[in-house]
Amino acid sequence: MNIDGATRLYAIVGDPVAQVRSPSVYTERFASAGINAVMIPAQVQTEGFTATMQGLMALGNLDGLLVTSPHKNAALALTQRVSARAQSVGAVNALRRERDGSWTGDMFDGVGFMSAALSLGPVHGARALLFGCGGAGAAIAVELAAHGARSIALIDPDISRAEQLGVSLGQHFPGCATVASRDHGRYDIVINASVVGMNDSEDLPGDPGPLDSKSIVGDVVLRPSERPTALIRKALSAGARTVTGQHMHAGQADAIMGFFHGPNVGTAASHT
């Protein structure tokens, strides 16, 4: 890639940012799409967050933002318009500047999983089991509920966090039953949205219950495809359909490119 005076800017905002992959992923996607733009890392502290962001967003050649930890919730207040799912999650991870100068926010953390899951089997009417009720888990739970999942069992070592997510989902999606515990029956969809499996850990986030060829099993943990997580390996050995962290990241990047540049580029998110 080249950078010149006419290069448009996108920034991924977080603290820390040294570990983020988005600058290389999106800069390469912009180049492939023939767009003169780069994704820069922007380390923004929580102290002074709003003032720093207002300065960054005042740059005339900055067209969009990604937001990562710990700012996804706070970034909601920077938008003039958000998608229903972002409202439900209470957080945004992508913002774009509209022609009138206002900012639209959306939340894509659950989109990569959902677009893959929808291609693998029915989500409407499914019984889902979700491990991990932090930001990624909340985004995936909202996608499941928005796509008609019948119920979601919400599992987190911090039970109050699971219960709070259940309350929030109940407000936005009264047709989706949530419970902060699990039974020992079969779940149609099992997702790990916790950190279990990171750093090459071979632990399972919990017992996924009976799995078969109709099960859909997802794991947000990012691993090289030749070394899947223990959960994905268990799913594969049961003949289940799987969605890896790699799939989710690629699907999310497709959707975000569409959000940034419209349906001509990448695959636009469908239900904002």
Helix (H, G, I), strand (E, B) or coil at 266: coil
CB of 7 vs a second copy, minimal distance in Å: 6
Q: What is the contact mask toward a second copy in residues 151 to 180, using x (rule: CB under 8 A)? A: ------------------------------
Strand partners, 152: 128, 178
Q: Would you tell me how many other CB atoms lie within 10 Å of the CB of residue 104?
A: 19
Using CB under 8 A, pick the residue from 32, 35, 46, 55 that binds a second copy: 55
Under the criterion CB under 8 A, does residue 42 sit at the interface with a second copy? yes
Distance of CA 115 to the CA centre of its chain: 11
Give whichever of 44 and 217 is closer to a second copy, judged by the CB atom. 44
Under the criterion CB under 8 A, does residue 41 sit at the interface with a second copy? yes
CB of 54 vs a second copy, minimal distance in Å: 6
Under the criterion CB under 8 A, does residue 67 sit at the interface with a second copy? no
Under the criterion CB under 8 A, does residue 17 sit at the interface with a second copy? yes
Under the criterion CB under 8 A, does residue 102 sit at the interface with a second copy? no
The number of CA neighbours under 13 Å toward the Cβ of 215 is: 24
Using CB under 8 A, pick the residue from 32, 35, 46, 51 that binds a second copy: 51
Q: How many residues bind a second copy (CB under 8 A)?
A: 38
Candidate list 26, 41, 49, 72, residue with the active-site label: 72
Q: Which long-range contacts (CB under 8 A, 24 or more apart) does 14-20 make?
A: 14/41, 14/42, 14/43, 14/44, 14/67, 14/68, 14/69, 14/70, 14/71, 15/43, 15/44, 15/45, 15/46, 15/69, 15/70, 15/71, 16/43, 17/41, 17/42, 17/43, 17/68, 18/43, 20/68
Q: Could you tell me the two tokens for 234?
A: 């268990």
Q: Could you tell me the two tokens for 18?
A: 């040294």
CB of 214 vs a second copy, minimal distance in Å: 39
CB of 59 vs a second copy, minimal distance in Å: 5
Cα-Cα-Cα-Cα dihedral of 236, 192, 203, 230, to 10°?
10
Annotated catalytic, 72? Answer: yes
Under the criterion CB under 8 A, does residue 200 sit at the interface with a second copy? no
Strand partners, 57: none
Under the criterion CB under 8 A, does residue 9 sit at the interface with a second copy? yes
Catalytic residues: 72
For binding to a second copy (CB under 8 A), which residues are involved?
Answer: 1-7, 9, 12, 15, 17-24, 27, 38-45, 48, 51-56, 58-61
